[in-house]
Amino acid sequence: MLSTTVAAAFRQHYPATPLLVRAPGRVNLIGEHTDYNNGFVLPAAIDKEICFAVALNNQPEARLYSVDQDEHYTLNLQDVQPGNTQWANYLKGVVAGFQQRGVTVPGFDCAFGGNVPIGAGLSSSAAVECGLAFALNELLNAGFSRMELALIGQQAEHQFAGVRSGLMDQFASLFGKADHVVRLDCRSLDYEYFPFDTATCHIVLCNSGVKHSLASSEYNTRRQECEKGVQILQQYYPEVESLRDATLDQLDQHREELGDVVYRRCSYVVRENQRVEIACQHLTQGDLAAFGQQMYASHAGLRDDYEVSCPELDVLVEIARETPGVLGSRMMGGGFGGCTINLVPTELVDSFCERAAAEYQSRLGLHLETYKTSIVAGVEALPAVATSGQ
Ligand code: GAF
């Protein structure tokens, strides 16, 4: 078990009995690139997770150990700055978030590791941020709400990883509920859970294996393009504070001034927000086939208008579309690689995974990994595990 491995690694390097915490990755059924436009998202926490073992250490520094990289990092808590060790940056960003909120962070020891595939669009970085944020909140009795912890994680992403991400990933990791998806209104931060019955339909992920180096720079560019669209619209419609408030009509009226690229980015976001609303109605009615059609439409928008897909993801969606019985498929997360998310009736899951892998190999000569996921609870503390030496 993951927690046993991480607890054992902790005991190998540090003397104390640690607090154990698990922090899941996430899927997002629909609502992509809408979070930083104050729109709607529909994520869920999944059974791919990062485990943490953390204890205060009475030292002036934090000693960090990545079990997966087998690497140590010592953090001077008086001077927390981003550096060259990427995995440590996420943890440092969380420490900085506590400090910026007036919390004195004393020395601590931390070992962590997990099975969220890196660069697969399943938010391994948010799981790392949220796991440590939750553990420090407990150990320091800092009293932050889960939402504040999510905001600390998001801030870490902005300040220490250079990605101006929205709140979806951290929210999903902290607010996940078993067998439910959750719709978040990224402006009001109101959220609503919807039951998702994996007895009849499974969420299957197809990992393209592509880790695109453009992901963070293009992500920030998309965000700027959306902001530019809002600035232009605001001259005519002062009530438009973000793309959440804009309509397709307004965009059409000012199409020339917006220019082709910004127009397409903005119209994608407006349509995607509408799709989330429609998809949630289908979910409430139990109409997963109609839900799946919204996913296909979402993919087409991400590919053609938002331009964050890549040929491998497009092929995977085509394979899903051609497979009888599959209800919906689209690229997921920031884009430029990572996974597609597929809605597959339970009895077809194995045959779909086999077919998708064979087709991916024959069309692109690439190996495909597939994951049949379960929807699990968000970040939580785990019971202590006995390790040798205890
Ligand atoms: C990444 C970001 F971290 C999220 O905030 C979100 O914008 C997503 O890309 C796209 O929907 O996962």
Q: Is the pTM of this model over 0.90?
A: yes
Confidence at 211, pLDDT banded by 50, 70, 90? confident
> How does DSSP assign 91-155, residue by residue?
HHHHHHHHHHTT-----EEEEEEE-S-TTSSS-HHHHHHHHHHHHHHHHTT----HHHHHHHHHH
- Which pLDDT value is given to residue 385? 79
Helix/strand/coil for 340? strand
Inter-CA distances, 7 with 50, 63, 116, 127, 182, Å: 12, 15, 18, 18, 31
User: How far does residue 33's CA lie from ligand 1's centre (Å)?
Assistant: 6
Mean pLDDT of 112-136: 95
- Interacting residues of 124 by C-beta distance below 8 A, sequence separation 6+: 25, 50, 114, 116, 117, 118
Give the pLDDT mean for 140-150: 98
Contact 299, 317 (CB under 8 A): yes
Does the Cβ of 166 fall within 6 Å of ligand 1? yes
Q: What CATH class is the domain 2-196+376-388?
A: alpha beta
Across 127-145, average pLDDT: 98
Phi, psi for residue 145 in degrees, rounded to 5? -75, 165
**Residues 303-311, mean pLDDT to the nearest whole number:** 97
Q: What percent of the chain stands above pLDDT 90?
A: 94
pLDDT in tens, 5-38: 999 999 999 999 999 999 999 999 999 999 999 9
Q: How confident is the model at residue 215 (pLDDT cuts 50, 70, 90)?
A: low
For residue range 258-272, list pLDDT tens digits in order: 999 999 999 999 999
For residue 178, pLDDT beyond 60: yes
The pLDDT score that the predictor gives to residue 257 is: 98
- Residue 294 tokens, joined: 């919204």
Q: Is residue 169 flagged as an active site residue?
A: yes
pLDDT over 80 at 212, yes or no: no
Spatial separation of the C-alpha atoms in residues 291 and 226, rounded to whole Å: 26
Q: Which helix (H) or strand (E) holds 201?
A: strand 201-207
Angle at alpha carbon of residue 158, lines to 225 and 165, rounded to 5°: 50
Average model confidence (pLDDT) for the chain?
Answer: 96
Asked if the model's pLDDT at residue 389 lies above 50, the reply is no
Task: Decide whether any atom of ligand 1 lies within 6 Å of the 35 Cβ.
Answer: yes
The strands making up 369-373's β-sheet, listed across from edge to edge, are 328-331, 339-345, 201-207, 369-373
Q: Which CATH class is domain 201-373?
A: alpha beta
Task: Tally Cβ neighbours within 10 Å of residue 233.
Answer: 25
% of the chain surpassing 70 pLDDT: 98
Amino acid residing at 31 = G
Q: Is the pLDDT of residue 238 over 50?
A: yes
Residue 357 marked as a ligand binder: no
Question: Any idea which residue has 């915490």 for tokens?
Answer: 21
| HSE toward the beta carbon, residue 349, CA cutoff 13 A | 18
* pLDDT level of residue 388 (50, 70, 90 thresholds): low
Contact 111, 170 (CB under 8 A): no
* Sequence ranges of the domains in the chain: 2-196+376-388, 201-373
> What is the mean predicted confidence (pLDDT) over 55-78?
97
Choice from 219, 222, 276, 295 to test ligand 1 binding pocket (greatest atom count within 8 A of CB): 219
The verdict on the CB of residue 36 being under 6 Å from ligand 1 is: yes
Confidence of residue 217 (pLDDT cuts 50, 70, 90): confident
120 known ligand binder? yes
